[in-house]
Amino acid sequence: MVVLHCVDVQWPPAQYYLGCVLSLRGDETEAARLFIESAAGKFPGAEYMMGVLACEEDMRRAEAPEGSAPGPNDGSAPASNVPSIQDSEDESSTVPSTARPVYLLDNGHVVFHGRTSYAWFEEAAISGDPWARFVYGQIVSSEEHSRFVSTIPCADVGDEYGKWPREQRGAYWIKKAADGGCAEALFTLASMYESGKGVEYSPAKALQCMTRVRGDLMDR
């Protein structure tokens, strides 16, 4: 009941954790509403969870029999019909929770509450969540998925980011995830230094990363 009270007073951490519970129970519409409100309150991880929900909608659409895919319309519905973080920041608007959202399509991907899964993961990475940065780095590095992500300038490297090859852009985010304490990112970074993909070839740096991974695991 304490959590519900905290949600009522719009405390972002409580909105996030209750959203996770509702997502596990299958109430994705209400979960999305809470994640959006939590993200508007700048809680790390909320945008990542919206990316996860958007991925699940994409998978449902891909797996559904032809003609029965859930949600997306023919693109004629205005984007303003799709709730977004910006909507939740407007005190006069509310995110509807009584029905599944109106879907648009962007390059074949569901636009879930205003963004594709790729855009949600990007927002989460920019917000600073280490796990989201690790996941987004893998997406950016992927030959299959990199064409769906943006090459917008990053604050610390500017326009150069968009000129880098995809593996180097992916390494940029994986490094940030590693710096944020993500052990999985450190392990991946070690492999990248061993192969020289996306980063310089450096067995010494690979060993440093593996040493940090070992230390992190022993501290858990």
Instruction: Give the SS3 label for residue 112.
Output: strand
Residue 104 vs residues 32, 123, 201: alpha-carbon distances, Å = 17, 19, 43
Calpha distance 144→137 (Å, rounded): 13
Predicted local distance difference test score (pLDDT) of residue 66: 63
Reported as half-sphere exposure (CB side, CA atoms, 13 A), residue 71 has a value of 24
Instruction: Check the CA dihedral 23-26-27-28 and report its sign.
Output: positive
Q: What's the rounded Cα separation, in Å, for the pair 17 and 20?
A: 5
Per-residue pLDDT of the chain (220 residues; tens, 9 = 90+): 445 545 555 788 899 999 999 999 988 889 999 999 999 888 888 999 999 998 888 888 877 766 555 554 333 333 333 344 444 444 433 333 334 454 567 677 788 888 888 899 999 998 889 999 999 999 999 888 888 888 776 778 888 888 899 999 999 999 999 999 899 999 999 999 999 999 999 999 999 999 988 776 656 5
Q: Distance (Å, rounded) from C-alpha 214 to C-alpha 68?
A: 48
